[in-house]
Structure 1
Amino acid sequence: MPWVYSNLKKHKTAVMSGFTVTFLMMLLQYFVAENSAILQRINGLIYDIRLNSTLEVRNTDINIIILDIDEKSLEQEGRYPWSRVKIAKIINKLAEAGAVVVAFDVMFSEPERNYINSVINLLDDQPDTQNLIEQISPFMSKADADAIMAQSLSATDVVLGMAFQGDPKVKVGTLPPSVVTFDTPDMSTLHSHEFFGYTNNIPILQNNAPGIGFINSTPDPDNFIRTTSLIARYGNTFYPSLALEAAKLYTLADDIKVITANLKTSRSIVGIKLGRKVIPTDEYGRVLIPFKGGAKSYPYISATDLLNDQVDSNIFNSAIVFVGTSAIGHSDLRATPVGVQYPGVEIHANVIDGLLHPEFIPSVPDWWEAAIFMMLLIIGGSLSLLFPFLGPRSIAFFGVCVFASLILFDLYLWAVQKISLPLATSLFLSIALSVINIGIGYFKESGKRKQIKSIFDQYVPPAHIDKMLDDPNAINLSGQRKEMTVLFSDIRSFTTISENLTANELGSLLNRYFSPITKSIFEHKGTIDKYVGDMVMAFWNAPLNDENHVQNAINCAFQMLDITKDLGDIFAKEGLPEIKVGIGINTGEMNVGDMGSTYRRAYTVLGDAVNLGSRLESLTKFYGVELLVGETCVDLCPKMKFRQIDKVRVKGKNKAVSIFEPIPEFLADSEGVKNELKQYQAAYDTYLAQNWEQALKLFLKLHEKNKQRKLYSIYLQRIKELKNMPISNDWDGSFTHQNK
């Protein structure tokens, strides 16, 4: 838990930004979405894509046909509106062919002119025309197209269309008695589409029609038709849609019953009962239109072909026939998810197909708001806590995964459960959290890149800088403990050298020395810690990991010694003092990080292993060697040759440590060096065995061969002292140094 808390605190800005965006998206969903045309348009587009991507061939046992007053019919039968005698002929032919229900997606709101009656009215004003009037009067009823059509309405179940209006001044005709009933007497709190005016058919047609249904469409704010109202309200009376009334007649239902339930704070519509079937609806009595496919997914028959007996009449047997027009210019082409010029009459066909097969109709459940709330909460909460810990690529990957998962989950609900949920805010939230966290990560990374560059620009190799900038999160600036290797190098007798040079000459000499030394450290993947006078300190395995940090440090030390020798020859020719160095290297657990005060900080290392590295450098002068390493270095470089110099206790430490001199590879292969190392190891082992006389002989022999090596003189002197001293039983050959 402390780790979680500390990391959350570290990413507080990103986490709080995520929760803020989640909260704002919830506010958008529950207080803005219903009135936001943009959000509704986006939800609509998502709905359209989902619908079109899951359309499939749908075969039903209901024969639904569209009798189309198309361009062909207008060309052969004349312009519309046609005489109601012709409409009556259509009804009779459909009835004779076995059509069960005929529904008109057109209205007959004005009486058709009776030409016999018009002639009589003209003759009535003329003298000596009474006999003629009496002769033609019997033909008046035969020329009454409205009466002829009204008579044909009894041939089968015919549903006439009517239209509700928003203008209360528009009241054409009269409204029929309602066939819609409710399961509750209190309808005051029920929501529905309420209208204040209407346009109905002429009385003779209305009174003889088995059914009346409204043909109004209910487009979304973007004017696309995705839902349809099954009932509409005028005053305190509810009326069915054309498709619902046709379904009532087809199923021989006595009435249409509205099912209500207590939702939220009031009673709302939840469904329509038609016979034994219940069709779930939203609180306004609407359903999503179960589109079968694009335009003409249902059979279309040209009206002129029916009138002229150019179609097999058996196709209409037991059919539900919708009569409408697809002709351009008759204002009945609608924008729908499956086509922007979709015949309005076919919308009614899709609706009745769904009413007779409720399993086709996807629903928006009454718990959809709670579902969206939970989705936003889960997505927002989880991504707000996860994304701050990820890099931009991981955020983008997980963002795409969440986005795709939401779409797949939505497709599952739609295709399998027939549930439709508005997805826009959930998708927006996943995108917004991804973009915000990528943005925050970018700015943090940019800041960290600048910080890394400012800290390491002069202390690590350019290649290291590039790697760190590529992945700033891989660098722990706050501090960590890890195994590292440290190197200390110091110029011998620097005080004497500085006393014999002017300030400018000393500065120039140090610059000429440190430049190639620094280059060597960089080339061997080292990090410069500091320069202190003539001393340089460097370390390996931080800030970037280096599996070969020990080997790289030792190879760097060899090159530094070569550089020093070359510079010494150059300085000697220039009359400058000769320089020699001592180098100490140690490996162990160290603390590394950006340390210091608010005024000045440095990326450095601390610890006992660091201190021992410094002691080893100071011991090089005592033993007369140029390079000393700790025993851990030897353990981690099994392929390299080493000479054990001694076992020592440095000042401030009680534990003895073995110290070694690395042998360059080109020397290690020399027979002379091999023999000397073998003889030295034998002498040292004899020394540890306290066989003083034999050890003295062996070291004396080595000294005579190489009088320049101070190490042999040290052991000769030490053996002479030890042989005359009492030795404790726990003596391990170690030597205690009193000076640093």
Structure 2
Amino acid sequence: MKTEKISYLIGSGVTLLFVFLAFQFYNYQNLRHEEQDPKSFVGVLENLDLKMLDFKMQLRGSKPSEAKVGLIAIDDKSIEEVGRWPWDRKVIAKLVDNVFADGASSLGFDVIFSEPQFGDPSSDMALAESLTKHRDKVVTGSFNEPAGDAWAPYQDYCVNEAFARANGADVVKLNASFVVEDKADPYESIDFGQLLNQLFTALEAENVPLLLKNEFKVASEAELSDAQKRFMKIEVTKRNFEYCQTWLTSNDPFVPTKENPELVKAYAEIFAVPEKDLESAVKKFKKTVLRHPLPASWSWSANLPMMQAGVDYNASFNAFQDNDGSVRRMPLFYRTGNRMGTSFVPTLSLQTYLTGMGYRAQVTVDKTSNSKNKVVTAFDVYDPKQEPEKKMFSISADKFSFMRVNYYGGTYSIPHIPAREILRNSPTIKIIHTFWHPESQKFQPKVVEVDRKEFFKDRMLIMGATATGVYDLRVTPFEKNFPGPEIHVQALAQLADHKFLSPWSKEAKLMPWIILALGIFLSVVLTQVGAVPGLIISATTLAVIVATDLFLFLKFNIMISIMLPLLVLVIVNFAIQTYKYLTEEKKKKELKTTFAKYVSPAIVDEVLKSPENLELGGKKQRMTVFFSDVRGFTTLSESLDPQKLSEILSRYLTPMTDIVFKNRGTLDKYMGDALMAFFGAPIAYDGHAKEACRTALQSLVKLKELQEEFKKEGIPTIDIGIGINTGEMSVGNMGSTIVRNYTVMGDAVNLGSRLEGINKEYGTRIIISEFTYGDVKDAFVCREVDMVKVKGKNLPVKIFELVAEGQVDKDHQERLSTFEKAYRDYQEMNFKNALEAFETLDKNHGDPVAAIYVERCQEFLENPPPQDWDRVFVMTKK
């Protein structure tokens, strides 16, 4: 077969594969979030496409909004001035009164007041009165735990009533400004609560006595404390929700059958059918009800009743994360069941916008053309103040009600008003906003002073915590540590500006055919021309695709998923140009790329010279594993901001990794502040135990230098513990078919990890096993510390403290000799002599290991061990 024909078939084959993937990709996008598998191939493509969208936003750069919105920031300086968060509710009440006195049109809370303020009930009352005073302008905030679709679609009606019975009205306010019209709900007019509340009452009559008896061991609710009563209410509500998952199934304890004639009659009345037709009516009901497009939520956290009851609007401030953890979109409302007025909660940004503008949003839900699912078909905003009511615009939301957040930029793209500024009685306030700086030719944050009333007039506000210690930080396309409340405010500005990101409406239908045409074009052209012309044609095609995509995005805010066309272009080109390229040089480059991350360049070169020494699938050999971990890292992380903490960690791990490389070690992985390495692979050599011990000692020398540097900079002191073990291990490229890692596994590795943790028990820094000691005892000074059984192991092992390489000074040697003699006395159960020696070492030299044996000897003198004592200490911790 000719080369040209093979090339054409390869290109065509790749093209057809991507056409198939395109259909799968767009089907994947039609799935609800909880149905998606981010680890699948199309899930990976989706993630790549999202990263491409991030890149386009970053390329567009910051474009601060001029919308009349703002973020009342509970920032670090406000907390310094007012006091630790959460603040006294009277302070919040004053803040609320001040912003509305200055002319704000609405205020949404990205905070929740779910518990009474400790010690001063008048503070709660003060805030409740303030919220009630401004009830038509305030939007309280709630949050929930997603439940997914834990029940069948028809069981939503049961969940409605269970939620209402659990005081769902505290969360879902009857709200004329937000309406969900479900055109595919044939049972909207049926009052299921009439029946279900009777079933819940019967269910609770069974559950309450059981809870009193089994959980609280009391006879009546009167004997319960307030906390127990709250727990009781939660448990009863939970069981009601669990009942909904069995409603009208074979597991339903209240199923309407001939054995329950009263239930049959009650159900027949609900469905308005003769009793003889009830069974078919129930079957039709269960089959007819379609799944709602929005996933269900439950376990809502609501504000205190005194606060919630006094306001007209409540919203959810949940943040929705894509599978990679970034926040790019938000559902415009949440639901628990499927009934208007009892189930739907708008998101904070939407409700704050509707409240501030006096608008009304109407969501239309209807079934799809194939009648298998329900989707959001329209999301319209109206102005009810006009006669007749006028439609203002439509929100660009997908069929699940998700709106893409069209970020204006990083932090401060929306004006931040520090809370302390609002609490001051001044005609002006200082705000922080992003402005264009001619000198740097970019947007940068700047503090400006503005007229207070002019700034707040008709402004829509959201209040939230941005202080570092509150940790409400999110990942966005512009920043990895972005204040969570500003996401809501940026979405609020997007609603006010009508600047929505919209998908190309015909993309799912046309893109597979575009990919087919592109792939066939490339297959024909690249088969006929040489490498250089082919590269030019491919580069030109790539430029046209990218330029078209950027033009539509930057000019019209239209999103197109171009990842598949780009992959087709690249892979068809690559496949045709290199299908015979299977040379040894390519294999060496792959190996070098793989192992450059784990070992020093010298070892990489050695691997490439003798690739037969490398077994990618894994093999067993005797090696040495090395674990080190930072002591005091938790304290350090609590005292530093994330950026500084990352810098400190890099300053520590970089030289420690260099030491591993210098001593012919292989870096396995970083585990936060911990480092794992091994010696003796990928190139096998003798003396790997010595190299590991040398690495450990050099690490302590470097640590001392770092401690001095950190001390001068006022950074808390850190220390490290190191564990080393030698033995048979499996080494090679291991993992899944998607992600692999060159690593070691086995019992010997696990023992090394346990030895690192043992340092905490003995106050040491480097612990090695008897197996490592056997290899290094002639070159290194060590002392036997104990014989232990580590957690998860049945056989004891001797452990040694690594002291030095070569010799130690006379004084140190005498201390080691004293310890060794005392340790032998201890082993021989001569506890009195051992105690005297250990006490001397502890008192004169502060030896932490000796201090441990002082306690043990004292214990054994009082309670001698049996004559068959095995001298083994059992570790109970990892």
TM-score, normalized by length of structure 2?
A: 0.44
- From 263, 271, 277, the equivalent of 2:378 is 271
In the alignment, is residue 44 of structure 1 matched against residue 25 of structure 2?
A: no
Deviations 1:55-78 (A, max 9, x none): 353554x31111110000111111
Call closer, same or farther: CA 1:183–1:144 in 2, change over 3 Å: closer
Q: What is the CA–CA distance in structure 2 between the aligned matches of 1:259 and 1:367, rounded to whole Å?
A: 21
> 1:35 maps to which residue?
37
Letter in structure 2 aligned against 1:24: L
1:427, CA displacement in angstroms?
A: 1.1
> 1:351 maps to which residue?
491
In the alignment, is residue 257 of structure 1 matched against residue 363 of structure 2?
A: yes
Q: What is the CA–CA distance in structure 1 between the aligned matches of 2:64 and 2:84, rounded to whole Å?
A: 35
- From 438, 447, 471, the equivalent of 1:331 is 471
Q: What is the CA–CA distance in structure 2 between the aligned matches of 1:225 and 1:78, rounded to whole Å?
A: 30
Call closer, same or farther: CA 1:415–1:329 in 2, change over 3 Å: same
> 1:244 maps to which residue?
350
> 1:70 maps to which residue?
75
Does the CA contact (< 8 Å) of 1:111 and 1:146 recur in 2? no
1:83, CA displacement in angstroms?
A: 1.6
1:323, CA displacement in angstroms?
A: 0.6
In the alignment, is residue 165 of structure 1 matched against residue 145 of structure 2?
A: yes
Q: What is the CA–CA distance in structure 1 between the aligned matches of 2:179 and 2:89, rounded to whole Å?
A: 33
Does the CA contact (< 8 Å) of 2:365 and 2:374 recur in 1? no
Does the CA contact (< 8 Å) of 1:248 and 1:256 recur in 2? no
Does the CA contact (< 8 Å) of 1:322 and 1:349 recur in 2? yes
Does the CA contact (< 8 Å) of 1:69 and 1:325 recur in 2? yes
In the alignment, is residue 22 of structure 1 matched against residue 22 of structure 2?
A: no
1:224, CA displacement in angstroms?
A: 0.7
Does the CA contact (< 8 Å) of 2:333 and 2:346 recur in 1? yes
Does the CA contact (< 8 Å) of 1:112 and 1:146 recur in 2? no
Report the more deviating stretch, 299-308 or 193-202.
193-202
Q: Secondary structure at the match of 2:8?
A: helix
1:144, CA displacement in angstroms?
A: 3.3
1:254, CA displacement in angstroms?
A: 4.1
Call closer, same or farther: CA 1:9–1:280 in 2, change over 3 Å: farther
Call closer, same or farther: CA 1:226–1:148 in 2, change over 3 Å: same
Q: Secondary structure at the match of 2:344?
A: strand
> 1:302 maps to which residue?
418
> 1:185 maps to which residue?
183
Does the CA contact (< 8 Å) of 2:74 and 2:464 recur in 1? yes
1:270, CA displacement in angstroms?
A: 3.4
Spell out the pairing of 1:384-403 with structure 2 (5 A cutoff). Answer: 384-403=523-542
1:52, CA displacement in angstroms?
A: 1.4
> 2:106 maps to which residue?
101
> 1:86 maps to which residue?
91
1:31, CA displacement in angstroms?
A: 2.9
Query: Higher relative contact order at CA 8 Å, sep ≥6: structure 1 or structure 2?
Result: 2
> 1:217 maps to which residue?
319
Aligned-pair RMSD on alpha carbons?
2.8
Call closer, same or farther: CA 1:327–1:165 in 2, change over 3 Å: same
> 1:512 maps to which residue?
none
> 1:375 maps to which residue?
514
Deviations 1:350-369 (A, max 9, x none): 112222232x1111244331
% identical equivalent positions: 22
In the alignment, is residue 427 of structure 1 matched against residue 420 of structure 2?
A: no
Q: Secondary structure at the match of 1:208?
A: coil
Q: What is the CA–CA distance in structure 2 between the aligned matches of 1:397 and 1:369, rounded to whole Å?
A: 29
Call closer, same or farther: CA 1:143–1:355 in 2, change over 3 Å: closer
In the alignment, is residue 320 of structure 1 matched against residue 460 of structure 2?
A: yes
Spell out the pairing of 1:469-618 with structure 2 (5 A cutoff). Answer: none
Letter in structure 1 aligned against 2:305: P
Does the CA contact (< 8 Å) of 2:72 and 2:418 recur in 1? yes
Q: Secondary structure at the match of 1:110?
A: coil
Structure 2, gaps ≥5 residues long: 29-35, 151-161, 186-289, 383-390, 430-450, 584-878
Q: What is the CA–CA distance in structure 2 between the aligned matches of 1:190 and 1:152, rounded to whole Å?
A: 37
Q: What is the CA–CA distance in structure 2 between the aligned matches of 1:431 and 1:410, rounded to whole Å?
A: 17
Call closer, same or farther: CA 1:416–1:264 in 2, change over 3 Å: farther
Report the more deviating stretch, 87-96 or 186-195.
186-195
Report the more deviating stretch, 94-103 or 104-113.
104-113
Letter in structure 2 aligned against 1:64: V
Letter in structure 1 aligned against 2:478: V
Call closer, same or farther: CA 1:256–1:90 in 2, change over 3 Å: farther
> 1:111 maps to which residue?
116
Call closer, same or farther: CA 1:305–1:227 in 2, change over 3 Å: same
Does the CA contact (< 8 Å) of 1:227 and 1:286 recur in 2? yes
Q: What is the CA–CA distance in structure 2 between the aligned matches of 1:106 and 1:391, rounded to whole Å?
A: 64
Q: Secondary structure at the match of 1:192?
A: coil
Deviations 1:158-203 (A, max 9, x none): 1111112125999797322354434443253441232132111111
Q: What is the CA–CA distance in structure 2 between the aligned matches of 1:424 and 1:178, rounded to whole Å?
A: 44
Q: What is the CA–CA distance in structure 2 between the aligned matches of 1:427 and 1:152, rounded to whole Å?
A: 57
Letter in structure 1 aligned against 2:61: L
> 1:437 maps to which residue?
576
- From 381, 401, 408, the equivalent of 1:285 is 401
Call closer, same or farther: CA 1:149–1:293 in 2, change over 3 Å: same
Q: What is the CA–CA distance in structure 2 between the aligned matches of 1:191 and 1:259, rounded to whole Å?
A: 8
Report the more deviating stretch, 253-262 or 433-442.
253-262
1:87, CA displacement in angstroms?
A: 0.8
Call closer, same or farther: CA 1:27–1:81 in 2, change over 3 Å: same
Q: What is the CA–CA distance in structure 1 between the aligned matches of 2:123 and 2:37, rounded to whole Å?
A: 56
- From 176, 179, 184, the equivalent of 2:172 is 176
Call closer, same or farther: CA 1:21–1:406 in 2, change over 3 Å: same
Letter in structure 2 aligned against 1:185: K
> 1:233 maps to which residue?
335
Letter in structure 1 aligned against 2:128: A
Letter in structure 2 aligned against 1:387: L
Q: What is the CA–CA distance in structure 2 between the aligned matches of 1:251 and 1:426, rounded to whole Å?
A: 42
Does the CA contact (< 8 Å) of 2:184 and 2:367 recur in 1? no
> 1:404 maps to which residue?
543
Q: What is the CA–CA distance in structure 2 between the aligned matches of 1:366 and 1:47, rounded to whole Å?
A: 17
TM-score, normalized by length of structure 1?
A: 0.52
1:403, CA displacement in angstroms?
A: 1.9
Q: Secondary structure at the match of 1:186?
A: coil
1:279, CA displacement in angstroms?
A: 0.9
Does the CA contact (< 8 Å) of 1:322 and 1:345 recur in 2? yes
- From 57, 60, 83, the equivalent of 1:54 is 60
Q: How many residues align?
A: 411
1:443, CA displacement in angstroms?
A: 8.2
Call closer, same or farther: CA 1:262–1:416 in 2, change over 3 Å: farther
Based on CA coordinates, which of the two structures has the bigger radius of gyration?
1
Q: What is the CA–CA distance in structure 1 between the aligned matches of 2:297 and 2:116, rounded to whole Å?
A: 25
Call closer, same or farther: CA 1:428–1:143 in 2, change over 3 Å: closer
Letter in structure 2 aligned against 1:252: G
Call closer, same or farther: CA 1:55–1:263 in 2, change over 3 Å: farther
Does the CA contact (< 8 Å) of 2:142 and 2:317 recur in 1? yes
Call closer, same or farther: CA 1:307–1:78 in 2, change over 3 Å: same
Q: What is the CA–CA distance in structure 2 between the aligned matches of 1:191 and 1:431, rounded to whole Å?
A: 37
Q: What is the CA–CA distance in structure 1 between the aligned matches of 2:554 and 2:398, rounded to whole Å?
A: 19
Q: Secondary structure at the match of 2:58?
A: helix
